Amino acid sequence: MRSTKESDGITVPNDLVVDYYRQRATKGGLQLTEATDIFQYAGNYPGAPGCFTDSQVAAWKKVTNAVHEKGGFIFSQLWHTGRASPPSFRAGQQTVSSSNIPMSGQWLDGVSCEDHPPRPLTVDEIHDITKKWGHAAKRAREAGFDGIEIHGANGYLLEQFLHDNINNRTDEYGGSIENRTRFPIEVIQECCRTIGADRVGIRLTPYNYFQDTKDSNPNEHWEYLCKKIAALPVEERPVYVHM
């Protein structure tokens, strides 16, 4: 969260960010970046970078070059925050999630989450975000990243579909665990098809209670998800699952 705001919803890594990752690079070591926006207003946390514009790609190249010069490897962690960031971070747009259930407490801007419940994404919007995840993965490769990690954890958008205390949908993206895993699986497949499965990982947190996430049966449900991931065709199977 040290990047520079270029324009509303577009934040670009700066020299301080280059120094940060260079300092932590070691020969043969793998770094994961901070969570990074996949498109404008996907999150827009203050100071958090994106990886979807030409200026962001050019800035990230300085980071990846610095890491590679020390013999290190680096993956870009790509996210959409869903209901975890407020309308004020999205030019006033209503926040979105799997359903209309708000978090408790306040967002970083001090506004009550319950006063502004999220809007459930439409199926077409889910498909569009999936495509944008793949596009951000492509841009990350253009920026010199060795791969990407899909952020499917910690109460952000994909986990808002996985946890059954949040996802109350009645369509093909809600209800059963088979349906609740559909969005994350489709994002995995899209990113693998776009940049190659050996360059894609995913982060999951089945026992996460951050940002009001809780599941009725995390052992059974995440076992199903992991079996589903492991059974994907080799060209769509991520290189790792980060728990």
Catalytic residues: 156
End-to-end CA distance of the chain: 23
What token pair was written down for 213? 């996430």
Tokens 């013999």 belong to: 71
What token pair was written down for 161? 């579909």
Alpha-carbon span 136 to 131, nearest angstrom: 9
- In the three-class reduction of DSSP (H, G, I as helix; E, B as strand; rest coil), residue 160 is classed as helix
* Chain center to CA of 9: 16
Q: Are 35 and 43 in contact (CB under 8 A)?
A: yes
Rg, the chain, Cα only: 17
Burial of 119 (0-12, 13-18, 19+ CB in 10 A): middle
